[in-house]
Amino acid sequence: SSELTQDPAVSVALGQTVRITCQGDSLRNYFASWYQQKPGQAPLLVMYSQDTRPSGIPDRFSGSRSGNTASLTITGTQAEDEADYYCNSRDISGNHNWVFGGGTKLTVL
Protein backbone atom coordinates (compact mmCIF):
# COMPACT_ATOMS: atom_id res chain seq x y z
CA SER A 1 0.00 0.00 0.00
CA SER A 2 1.18 3.50 -0.83
CA GLU A 3 2.14 5.91 1.94
CA LEU A 4 0.92 8.72 -0.28
CA THR A 5 -2.83 8.79 -0.80
CA GLN A 6 -4.50 10.20 -3.88
CA ASP A 7 -8.12 10.23 -5.00
CA PRO A 8 -8.44 7.52 -7.67
CA ALA A 9 -10.43 9.71 -10.03
CA VAL A 10 -11.30 13.37 -10.49
CA SER A 11 -13.24 15.10 -13.23
CA VAL A 12 -13.29 18.71 -14.37
CA ALA A 13 -15.15 20.67 -16.99
CA LEU A 14 -13.12 22.04 -19.85
CA GLY A 15 -11.67 25.41 -18.93
CA GLN A 16 -12.32 25.04 -15.23
CA THR A 17 -9.89 24.64 -12.33
CA VAL A 18 -9.09 21.33 -10.70
CA ARG A 19 -6.99 20.45 -7.68
CA ILE A 20 -5.39 17.03 -7.38
CA THR A 21 -4.26 16.19 -3.87
CA CYS A 22 -1.72 13.89 -2.31
CA GLN A 23 -1.77 13.11 1.41
CA GLY A 24 0.92 11.57 3.55
CA ASP A 25 2.77 12.15 6.80
CA SER A 26 6.09 12.39 4.96
CA LEU A 27 4.83 15.50 3.20
CA ARG A 28 5.11 17.40 6.47
CA ASN A 29 8.88 17.10 6.06
CA TYR A 30 9.51 16.59 2.38
CA PHE A 31 8.47 18.32 -0.81
CA ALA A 32 6.77 16.42 -3.60
CA SER A 33 7.10 16.05 -7.32
CA TRP A 34 4.26 15.38 -9.75
CA TYR A 35 4.11 13.30 -12.93
CA GLN A 36 1.58 13.22 -15.73
CA GLN A 37 1.12 9.98 -17.64
CA LYS A 38 -0.99 9.51 -20.72
CA PRO A 39 -1.97 6.04 -22.00
CA GLY A 40 0.90 4.17 -23.56
CA GLN A 41 3.43 6.86 -22.67
CA ALA A 42 6.17 7.29 -20.11
CA PRO A 43 5.48 9.65 -17.23
CA LEU A 44 6.28 13.34 -17.65
CA LEU A 45 7.54 15.52 -14.82
CA VAL A 46 5.16 18.48 -14.43
CA MET A 47 6.10 19.85 -10.99
CA TYR A 48 8.91 19.48 -8.49
CA SER A 49 10.10 21.06 -5.27
CA GLN A 50 6.42 21.52 -4.55
CA ASP A 51 5.89 24.50 -6.87
CA THR A 52 8.53 24.54 -9.62
CA ARG A 53 7.56 23.79 -13.20
CA PRO A 54 10.09 22.19 -15.54
CA SER A 55 10.77 23.97 -18.78
CA GLY A 56 7.96 23.48 -21.27
CA ILE A 57 5.21 22.83 -18.73
CA PRO A 58 2.38 25.35 -19.14
CA ASP A 59 1.88 27.89 -16.40
CA ARG A 60 -1.67 26.68 -15.86
CA PHE A 61 -0.03 23.99 -13.70
CA SER A 62 0.86 25.05 -10.16
CA GLY A 63 1.82 23.27 -6.95
CA SER A 64 1.40 23.88 -3.25
CA ARG A 65 1.64 22.19 0.12
CA SER A 66 -0.27 22.55 3.36
CA GLY A 67 0.40 20.35 6.34
CA ASN A 68 0.48 16.74 5.15
CA THR A 69 -1.08 17.49 1.78
CA ALA A 70 0.57 18.42 -1.50
CA SER A 71 -1.61 19.71 -4.32
CA LEU A 72 -1.33 20.07 -8.05
CA THR A 73 -3.71 22.66 -9.46
CA ILE A 74 -4.60 23.06 -13.11
CA THR A 75 -6.20 26.40 -13.93
CA GLY A 76 -8.14 26.56 -17.18
CA THR A 77 -7.94 22.82 -17.77
CA GLN A 78 -7.44 21.75 -21.37
CA ALA A 79 -8.53 18.56 -23.06
CA GLU A 80 -4.90 17.48 -23.40
CA ASP A 81 -4.55 17.53 -19.60
CA GLU A 82 -6.64 14.38 -19.34
CA ALA A 83 -4.20 11.85 -17.91
CA ASP A 84 -3.12 10.00 -14.80
CA TYR A 85 -1.26 12.11 -12.24
CA TYR A 86 1.15 10.71 -9.65
CA CYS A 87 2.74 12.43 -6.70
CA ASN A 88 6.11 11.34 -5.35
CA SER A 89 8.14 11.97 -2.22
CA ARG A 90 10.38 10.23 0.26
CA ASP A 91 8.81 7.68 2.49
CA ILE A 92 8.02 8.44 6.11
CA SER A 93 11.11 6.62 7.38
CA GLY A 94 13.39 9.32 5.99
CA ASN A 95 15.63 6.68 4.48
CA HIS A 96 16.56 6.93 0.85
CA ASN A 97 13.35 5.32 -0.28
CA TRP A 98 10.80 7.04 -2.41
CA VAL A 99 7.12 6.35 -2.89
CA PHE A 100 4.53 7.29 -5.45
CA GLY A 101 0.94 7.96 -4.72
CA GLY A 102 -1.58 5.56 -6.17
CA GLY A 103 -2.39 7.99 -8.96
CA THR A 104 -5.38 10.13 -9.90
CA LYS A 105 -7.14 9.69 -13.21
CA LEU A 106 -8.19 13.12 -14.42
CA THR A 107 -11.12 13.24 -16.81
CA VAL A 108 -11.84 16.46 -18.69
CA LEU A 109 -15.54 16.78 -19.47
Chain contacts with another protein (rule: CB under 8 A): 2, 30-33, 35, 37, 42-45, 48-49, 54, 86, 88-90, 96-103
The whole-angstrom separation of Cα 89 and Cα 99 is 6
User: Residue 86: CB partners within 8 Å, gap ≥ 6?
Assistant: 6, 34, 35, 37, 43, 100, 101, 103, 104
Minimal distance, residue 14 CB to another protein, in Å: 26
Minimal distance, residue 16 CB to another protein, in Å: 26
Minimal distance, residue 54 CB to another protein, in Å: 7
Cβ atoms of 32 and 24 within 8 Å: the answer is no
Cβ atoms of 50 and 32 within 8 Å: the answer is yes
